[in-house]
Structure 1
Amino acid sequence: MGMKWHVVAVLGVACTVAAAVAADRGLSFAGAVAPPEEASYLRKLASSLWQSDGTAYHHVWPPMKLGWKIVLGSFIGFFGAAFGSIGGVGGGGIFVPMLTLIIGFDPKSSAAMSKCMIMGAAVSTVYCNLKLKHPTLDMPVIDYDLVLLIQPMLMLGVSIGVICNVIFPDWLVTVLLIILFIVTSTKAFLKAIETWKKETEAAKQSEQTSEEQEYMPLSAGLDAASPSEILSDHDRNETPSDKEVSIWKNVYWKEVGLLAFVWVAFLVLQVAKNYMATCSIWYWVLNLLQIPVSVGVAMYEAVGLVQGRRVISSKRNEQNSLRAHQLFVYCFLGVTAGVVAGLLGVGGGSIMGPLFLELGVPPQVASATATFAMMFSSSMSVVEYYLLNRFPVPYAVYLTILAFFAAIVGQRVVRKLIDLLGRASIIVFILSFMIFISALSLGGVGISNTIHKIERHEYMGFENICKYEA
């Protein structure tokens, strides 16, 4: 539960800072008792934290020309999408620095462009996973009940995160990112070590069992057990993992229909909101209507889980039903993952992956389920960013196609590695590695940008969304 409280603390600090700045903006210095010099300094400080006459932010979109920048960026983006699809994190921690430092986009446009790449990688990964079975159970590798609990809250968080992306200054985004990613990468790495040790023990037990059967007298072996009984439980349970079935038989269409309903409802609300004046009454009404849609579907799944009518089947201990307070925490973390995804331009898998592993979900299922949820959230982010005119379409189309094929390559390679080595913990190690690299790369870029702004005395405060112009 340590990670969860760290996340709560981070969000609390962010909300406190935002509220303090907003309150400071409304204060008047007319009645201050401070000396004129101090009052003047306070006015400058308050002005630097909130700009009241529009926005000073300018987008930088480099021309799409063939050169070393786009070639190097494509190379890095390809490997980022491949590894991101394996770990289920999307790869935004690689995409954003690549788009900012190499190709030359501004940070906020880079966050929007990275969402396009995450969507492309997620779509191809989900297509590959739709045919696969659970590694140990007779069910799909994607846990649809788990997605139905998390994904509606994830999409609600994405909408909040996109708004925060417009409002929050870069320095605050950097602080939140570093704290959050270091905590989640550490948790994922410890889980990877734990999974590796369990796999090693299971392999030793399997070898001992095979040796005992090898030296068993032939007559006794034939009389004592049938060929199917001679196989270990591990061998029998692993049989479905290499098996591909028809998509029509392997998909839970009722759950997918509910997820599609949430996506369409959010899309309609976002399109309608685009025709309303920013900060008007109807603008906020349409924003608030997203709450009953997401909470309603999540509550439908949560009630079923509490009453036992539905189960998160992918958990190793199927009899361990979730309690109401646990479901509340998971839904809250789903919102948090969405806020992170929309705010930072990265995949919500940075939180969902470690969360699913803490639930006891096998690595293959955790990665596939997180990617499935990200497909919905990332595509919604792309729609919202498109409506806000936050990225150039030609660049977005090219990079989306690049990530699409890179994810296919990554999925094929990791499946062969798991079959060869017999260790699914590879996925968890890649997950922790990608999150940690994201913390270093995004954190480094954010710190560098903040230092440059301080040296140039540039505006570093909160943007006024009501006066924001895309």
Structure 2
Amino acid sequence: MGGRLESWGWWVGGMLLLCLSLALESEVVLANRPLASSPHEMGSSSISISTSTSSSSSTNHNKIIEKDHKYILANIFHSLFDNGDSSYTHVWPDMEFGWRVVLGSTIGFLGAALGSIGGVGGGGIFVPMLTLIIGFDPKTSTAISKCMIMGAAGSTVYYNLRLRHPTLELPIIDYDLALLFQPMLMLGISIGVAFNVIFPDWMVTVLLIILFLGTSTKALFKGIETWKKESILKKEAAKLLTSQSNESQKLAYKPLPGAPAANAQVLSSPDDEVPIKENIYWKEFMLLLFVWVAFLAVQIIKTYATTCSIEYWVLNALQVPIALSVTLCEAINLCKGKRTIASRGKQDIRWKMHQLLFYCCCGVLAGIVGGLLGLGGGFILGPLFLEMGVPPQVASATSTFVMTFSSSMSVIQYYLLDRFPVPYAAYFVFLATVAAFTGQHIVRRLIVLLGRASLIIFILALTIFVSAISLGGVGIAHMVEKLERKEHMGFENLCYHSKSLQFKVL
């Protein structure tokens, strides 16, 4: 467990450091820095040079250098918070039946089905489809993608609420795991939505390729490891079945739930379904709902605050204690042993606070990625849950459950920012909802038939890898076009968009 934590720590730490360095370096390079001195200052300096000593000339030179650094810092904040005009324009094609809608719907259906199976949402397939085929601009595609993720996640959660844990007498959704990650994911979503307005496309592309290639590789290795363990269990089950053939006893094989205890007892059949109310832990669910409502209230009230005023930033900051209060309470209870991540089975572990805090940081990072790229946080949460020893079925179900809250919050934020056309969004939400339900039903039957839960992990790795290739290719193509046209490639203006938001709501 310590090795896994250290591996994830280096990887996530490197990603955060890369984000910070790219943000600072790009703004320094792309900012239009004014001259160190104005014409009036030049005239004054020439008089002072003719009448002053060499020491005063040196002092003036140092002042100019100091002013240079002030201009650089000023440009960084000017790019983020100035109330000037934004250079970004939306492209919203008319909604009419044609080959674009048919092809886009087909790809969207497959993406939603695969994304719901792996617990990642499918945004990595939605965004290129919406951009290249339907014809939306990249940022509108991001917003509509989030709408599709919300529809797919809601459908998947409804399907999973009838199912039980593959080997334990528990719901397939781990509510303790959700309480640990959902508040942090939603906090990251709010940050990511703002970054979506600010960050240039080229930076988003670089971060996306690095992040997705890393996660898909980790998921692939985890899938191979799980496949080998399943093969061993299948051989042992076959031997046991042969030895008991004289007694005419049948052995029901259970899909491998990750890294199970050797003496784990099978308590339920793969085909068992129970009423939804038995799979809902109302106390934990209401706590998650409280976090969602609190975030929603802050977002709505924030629209009536003066753009970039003190009240505006105070309201933004209120999201931090809301998220931290719930997550830290859950983390402390896990450390003290008052609560446990029961879906891991009998693998008892004494959670340490630094481990849980690191996982919470991963939750924030997943939210930032989700809000920034229009993807589900499951691209990070799914592989992370698997590394924590959670069964693939539970990892997928819990990741999707958490994404239902976060994606719906993103949709509301994008709607208030007027970032997508409602008719198109409604159509694709319906499409994703049907696709997710269909995908869940088919793959569940395949897992029962083949006896291999690792199928979920391989679908997860495939979806992330395809997303990296498709989104990375689209991003690189857009960068080349902008370079050829010498278009603006710097940071956008956050306060300009906030100002437009306030006008529309009022």
Provide the TM-score with structure 1 as the length reference.
0.91
- Among 64, 67, 92, the alignment partner of 1:61 is 92
- Residue 116 in 1 paired to residue 147 in 2? yes
- Residue 431 in 1 paired to residue 460 in 2? yes
Aligned match of 2:391: 362
Q: Counterpart of 2:418 in 1: which secondary structure?
A: coil
Aligned match of 2:52: none
Aligned match of 2:237: 206
1:94-141 per-residue CA deviation (whole Å, 9 max, x = no partner) reads: 000000000000000000000000000000000000111000111000
Is contact 1:181-1:438 (8 Å) kept?
yes
- Among 256, 260, 274, the alignment partner of 1:245 is 274
Partner Cα distance (2:108, 2:373) in 1: 17
1:382-402 per-residue CA deviation (whole Å, 9 max, x = no partner) reads: 000000000000111110011
RMSD: 2.5
Deviation at 1:278, TM superposition (A): 2.3
- Residue 142 in 1 paired to residue 148 in 2? no
Quickly say closer, same or farther: Cα 1:234–1:114, change in 2 above 3 A: farther
The 5 Å alignment of 1:13-28 reads 13-20=18-25, 28=34
Is contact 1:3-1:183 (8 Å) kept?
no
Structure 2 unaligned blocks of 5 or more: 1-5, 38-59, 62-67, 255-261, 502-506
Q: Counterpart of 2:170 in 1: which secondary structure?
A: coil
Partner Cα distance (1:55, 1:151) in 2: 33
> Which deviates the most, 202-211 or 23-32?
23-32
The 5 Å alignment of 1:363-442 reads 363-442=392-471
Number of matched pairs: 451
- Residue 196 in 1 paired to residue 227 in 2? yes
Deviation at 1:319, TM superposition (A): 1.2
Is contact 1:152-1:294 (8 Å) kept?
yes
Deviation at 1:12, TM superposition (A): 1.6
- Among 141, 147, 152, the alignment partner of 2:183 is 152
Is contact 1:124-1:405 (8 Å) kept?
yes
Aligned match of 2:298: 269
1:336-359 per-residue CA deviation (whole Å, 9 max, x = no partner) reads: 000000000011000000000001
Return the letter of the residue paired with 1:276.
A
Aligned match of 2:494: 465
Aligned match of 1:224: none
Q: Counterpart of 1:241 in 2: which secondary structure?
A: coil
Is contact 2:241-2:251 (8 Å) kept?
no
- Among 77, 83, 100, the alignment partner of 2:114 is 83
- Residue 288 in 1 paired to residue 317 in 2? yes
Quickly say closer, same or farther: Cα 1:318–1:68, change in 2 above 3 A: same
Partner Cα distance (1:348, 1:462) in 2: 24
Partner Cα distance (2:268, 2:316) in 1: 47
Deviation at 1:2, TM superposition (A): 2.4
Partner Cα distance (1:21, 1:406) in 2: 40
Quickly say closer, same or farther: Cα 1:74–1:279, change in 2 above 3 A: same
Is contact 1:169-1:461 (8 Å) kept?
yes
| Percentage of matched positions with identical amino acids | 57
Q: Counterpart of 2:228 in 1: which secondary structure?
A: helix
Q: Counterpart of 1:283 in 2: which secondary structure?
A: helix
- Larger CA Rg, structure 1 vs 2: 2
Deviation at 1:374, TM superposition (A): 0.3
- Residue 167 in 1 paired to residue 173 in 2? no
Aligned match of 1:183: 214
Structure 1 unaligned blocks of 5 or more: 34-38, 222-226
Aligned match of 2:366: 337
1:408-452 per-residue CA deviation (whole Å, 9 max, x = no partner) reads: 000000011011101000000000000000000000000000000
Aligned match of 1:454: 483
Deviation at 1:320, TM superposition (A): 1.1
Q: Counterpart of 2:342 in 1: which secondary structure?
A: coil
Partner Cα distance (1:428, 1:395) in 2: 31
- Among 9, 13, 18, the alignment partner of 2:14 is 9
Provide the TM-score with structure 2 as the length reference.
0.85
1:215-269 per-residue CA deviation (whole Å, 9 max, x = no partner) reads: 5xx6xx9xxxxx7999999996163432111111111111100000000000000
Return the letter of the residue paired with 1:17.
L
Deviation at 1:22, TM superposition (A): 5.5
Aligned match of 1:278: 307
Return the letter of the residue paired with 1:403.
A
